Structure 1
């Protein structure tokens, strides 16, 4: 007789979670599932922000004292400058959104970084009232705002950037597969302008041996140029949950360096160094790295297990809209392992949030909670809907659970053929209950042809996977096999070793 086990013991990721159905007392204490806040539905970054140097207004971050020694001017915040750009407002002291009497953003033109000599409008050195060019001060000394050297450097760099075509040429050559030319142009661009994207591409190409001999040491040097470049909070990338693999140059370089140190590929294997690079990628705004840190602190990555940090990082990533973090956070609350306080209501809320975004593991987990009535009222209709979504995506435990409904005829119309197909799909995915259930149906001919040899195979595989009833079933079916049946089963379970053909 088929001994069904609808609720499999996995949540489709590393650990087995053997769970018992909710007790009547638990079901009586149901409460509304709490909601979770996901605020990560952002628009993709404006393409015009890709290279600030395309603007004729000089980027202050390329001149040290302009960027770090200036007095604070709220009109120079990125959000204000972007607002003025989007609405075609003037980005100078006469801008219409500046409050009366308040200075507008300082605009440095690469053709006249010290001011407009023809009109007599000069940028004065703060506190002197004199034109910057004629101020009786050391031109190399940093001022409260910008030194003469800073202005000259920023102006020259911006002028080169506006006219330079080496980056476009490098990308075009790379896309054509002319890696030698691409490497030369990326190097030329970096030497001229120091663009992070060029250093990143040189590092990646050197790592892969494209256009240059593969050299991990040199690749790491170039990647470190990106991660060690000047960075401020305003440079954080904008994470888009719809495109979670998109990375800024800084984040991508950090992720590559983390992987190299994890694997010890060409560098010293060092989990702590890897974690530091994940932290750098997370600081750069790459949310999947934040999720990785959360998982790391759950498992004791790099020798440190910290449940509070784990939950903090996972929650940060989940609230930013990163779906795998939603699932992992739900799983952490569900199991109550690794020092995280068990909370089925929060687990269900995060599973539901991830399931809504199409995460297959979360769909199975949410269905399971409705099937068992964990933290919610039992609802087999909703459970079946979640199981179906996960089963279509190939989750073996969901396929097994859905098959049991078709086998018993609960909620859905009884259909042994469909049940057997689903058990077979789940069994092929390594689900041990499905292996046992498929063996029973195959031995009796339910939902398909009777085949004792295949029943013997599936019972054997179920036993090897730890199914508690498979051993007894094997003893019952073995005497019924003919020599031919047994030979067929052995050929599947113990295939002959392949020998190399020699001439």
Structure 2
């Protein structure tokens, strides 16, 4: 029995080591296989993956062909199994996108919005996001809304609101936070604090730091909901751990004032120092104020906490 286990274990190790070679043998002797392409990609055998994807990318307009086009484009973009080539990547993404592949449409939208391949193009980004959004893709609807919100070209707010509403219907968390802010300020939609509170709550529960900070402020002030320092502390903390500097400053203020907890100047100093390090100019004055109330020992302890907190990437500070 022991000998059998040793033999089986040895074969497993051998198979793992020969994985790329076996994939290459399969593709050359049995023809391209899109599932084999995915398996080869997963183990890092990118050349075999490309050998299997490329015939499908070149050979039709069915769903599997579009998937292959997208993956060929992605591999050209990343330089996996081929020499990195943004022009080839763009060509394959475009071919798949024109045939209705949502993933390629979103990738093109992002690339043109942020200039991933060297050139930003607002109108092309809108075009591709729009094609994906028209197919009901929630991510594209949110991206389209964001672009219209940030645009300075004409009256785009009404378009932003329309796409935000669609994305919110699909439960896109960042769109919920953005639409909540419009309802809070009455910008482009009727002023509706209760609707804003509902949307902030939904987005906060999906870990959107801006919404968590907004919700924390609501509970801290006792506006739209009964004052609840524990909930305010919880949501400020969630947002602060995600580098939301406004939440870090507010959390520090709660520690410094002892709101719903014992006063803790060291923790206040820690969060203000973190916010200051993240270039929030509003942290400087309260940080100086807290330091004036601390002993040298407390400041040293606060500095140690900052270092420890940063090493943990702000989690559970």
Shorter-chain TM-score: which interval? 0.7 to 0.9
Runs (4 or more) in structure 1 with deviation over 6 Å come to: none
State the match for 1:466 in structure 2: 279
Among 164, 177, 187, the alignment partner of 1:364 is 177
How far the C-alpha of 1:185 sits from its partner, in A, is: 11
How many pairs does the alignment contain?
295
Given the alignment of the two structures, is residue 201 of structure 1 paired with residue 16 of structure 2, yes or no? no
- Give the 3-state SS of the residue equivalent to 2:136 in structure 1: coil
Counterpart Cα distance in 1 of 2:25 and 2:84: 33
Alignment root-mean-square deviation, CA = 2.9
State the match for 2:90 in structure 1: 275
Higher relative contact order (CA 8 A, sep 6+): 1
1:102-251 → structure 2 map (5 Å cutoff): 190-191=30-31, 199-209=33-43, 215-229=45-59, 231=60, 235-236=61-62, 248-251=63-66
Given the alignment of the two structures, is residue 404 of structure 1 paired with residue 217 of structure 2, yes or no? yes
Q: Which digits, 9 at most, give the CA deviation of each residue in 1:394-415, with x for residues without a partner?
A: 1111011011111112121122
Change in 2 beyond 3 A, CA 1:432/1:342: farther
Counterpart Cα distance in 2 of 1:188 and 1:304: 39
State the match for 2:133 in structure 1: 318
State the match for 1:330 in structure 2: 145
Counterpart Cα distance in 2 of 1:341 and 1:225: 45
How far the C-alpha of 1:327 sits from its partner, in A, is: 0.3
Change in 2 beyond 3 A, CA 1:430/1:346: same
Counterpart Cα distance in 1 of 2:24 and 2:233: 60
- Give the 3-state SS of the residue equivalent to 2:81 in structure 1: coil
Change in 2 beyond 3 A, CA 1:278/1:384: same
Q: Which digits, 9 at most, give the CA deviation of each residue in 1:1-51, with x for residues without a partner?
A: xxxxxxxxxxxxxxxxxxxxxxxxxxxxxxxxxxxxxxxxxxxxxxxxxxx
How far the C-alpha of 1:461 sits from its partner, in A, is: 1.2
Counterpart Cα distance in 2 of 1:444 and 1:347: 40
Q: Tell me if structure 2 keeps the 8 A contact 1:250–1:284.
A: no
Q: Which digits, 9 at most, give the CA deviation of each residue in 1:185-204, with x for residues without a partner?
A: 9659955xxxxxx5223333
How far the C-alpha of 1:385 sits from its partner, in A, is: 0.4
Counterpart Cα distance in 1 of 2:35 and 2:243: 41
Counterpart Cα distance in 2 of 1:359 and 1:372: 20
Given the alignment of the two structures, is residue 416 of structure 1 paired with residue 246 of structure 2, yes or no? no
- Give the 3-state SS of the residue equivalent to 2:33 in structure 1: helix
Q: Tell me if structure 2 keeps the 8 A contact 1:420–1:448.
A: no
Change in 2 beyond 3 A, CA 1:184/1:481: closer
- Give the 3-state SS of the residue equivalent to 1:377 in structure 2: coil
Counterpart Cα distance in 1 of 2:82 and 2:29: 27
Flag the structure with larger Rg.
1
Given the alignment of the two structures, is residue 382 of structure 1 paired with residue 195 of structure 2, yes or no? yes
What's the TM-score once normalised by structure 1's chain length?
0.54
State the match for 2:242 in structure 1: 429
Counterpart Cα distance in 1 of 2:155 and 2:277: 32
- Give the 3-state SS of the residue equivalent to 2:188 in structure 1: coil
Q: Tell me if structure 2 keeps the 8 A contact 1:288–1:322.
A: no
Q: Tell me if structure 2 keeps the 8 A contact 1:200–1:223.
A: yes
How far the C-alpha of 1:315 sits from its partner, in A, is: 1.3
State the match for 1:395 in structure 2: 208
Counterpart Cα distance in 1 of 2:280 and 2:35: 51
Q: Tell me if structure 1 keeps the 8 A contact 2:70–2:103.
A: no
How far the C-alpha of 1:446 sits from its partner, in A, is: 0.2
Show structure 2 runs of 5+ residues with no match: 1-15, 312-317
Show structure 1 runs of 5+ residues with no match: 1-176, 192-197, 237-247, 499-503
Change in 2 beyond 3 A, CA 1:303/1:497: closer
Q: Which digits, 9 at most, give the CA deviation of each residue in 1:271-313, with x for residues without a partner?
A: 1211112123224432121122122222334344333322222
State the match for 2:260 in structure 1: 447
How far the C-alpha of 1:342 sits from its partner, in A, is: 5.0
Counterpart Cα distance in 1 of 2:291 and 2:164: 43
